[in-house]
Structure 1
Amino acid sequence: MSVLLNFAIFPTDKGASVSQYVSKVLDFIRDSGVSYRLNPMGTTIETETMQEALEVVNKAYLILEPLADRIYATINIDARKGPIGRMDSKISSIENKIGKVNL
């Protein structure tokens, strides 16, 4: 199974720039060994199980919880039976079709 989970999580009570808090979460994700890609609006991870993906989000929350009184999070999930590697293959599929008209 391939679980793609895109999420954003950050404190809302720390001012306009929260990159120092988000970087703590990214340090954890990088060290976890989970495949990930940072994007301007969040981070996408790919795991083999839903439980593993949700554990990453929970651990991210636990990193921020002692540092903030209020934490905001959004999550989008795409779970599909089959092999992992969709984080790259989904993008490649679209890029290969750009400029081709197939109506």
Structure 2
Amino acid sequence: MSVLVEFAMFPTDKGESVSPYVSRIIKMIDESGVNYKLTPMGTVFEVETMEEALKIIDQAYKQLEKDCNRVYSVVKFDIRKGKSGRLKQKIESVEKKLGKQVSK
């Protein structure tokens, strides 16, 4: 099974720039070994189970709860049985249909 997750999470009580807080979350994901992609508006990662996905989201929140009084988050899931590697595969499929060189 493949669980693709796109999410954004950040404090709303820490001023205009929240990159120091977002960086904590990205560091935790990176150290977890989960395949992910950081984007300007959030992060996408892929795991094999919903339990793993929810654990990452919970750990992300724990990076902020200690010194943030208000946290905003939005989360989207794409769950598909019998597939894996979709973080890269979905982009390659669209690029191929557009006649573009496939991303490495």
Paired amino acid for 2:79 = A
Give CA-to-partner distance per residue, 1:2-52, whole Å, 9 cap, x none: 000000000000011000000000000000011100011100010000010
Please give the alpha-carbon distance, in whole angstroms, between the structure 1 residues aligned to 2:38 and 2:82: 24
Which amino acid in 2 is paired with 1:12?
Answer: T
List 4+ stretches of structure 1 deviating above 4 A.
none
Aligned to 2:50: 50
1:89 has 2:81 as partner: no
Tell me, yes or no, if structure 1 residue 61 matches structure 2 residue 61.
yes
Specify the alignment match of 2:22 in structure 1. 22
Q: Which letter does structure 2 place at the counterpart of 1:81?
A: K
* TM-score (normalised: structure 1): 0.94
Gaps of 5+ in 1: none
What is the CA-CA distance between 1:82 and the residue it aligns to? 1.4
Q: Matched residues in 1 for 2:32 and 2:92: separation?
A: 25
**Are 1:9 and 2:9 an aligned pair?**
yes
Q: 1:66-93 CA deviation, whole Å, 9 max, x = no partner?
A: 1100000000000000131000000000
Normalised by the length of structure 2, the TM-score is 0.93
Rounded Cα–Cα distance in structure 2 between residues aligned with 1:84 and 1:32:
18
What RMSD over aligned residues (CA atoms) do the two structures have, in Å?
1.2
Distance, in Å, in 1 between the alignment partners of 2:28 and 2:84 is 21
Please state whether the residue corresponding to 1:16 is helix, strand or coil.
Answer: coil
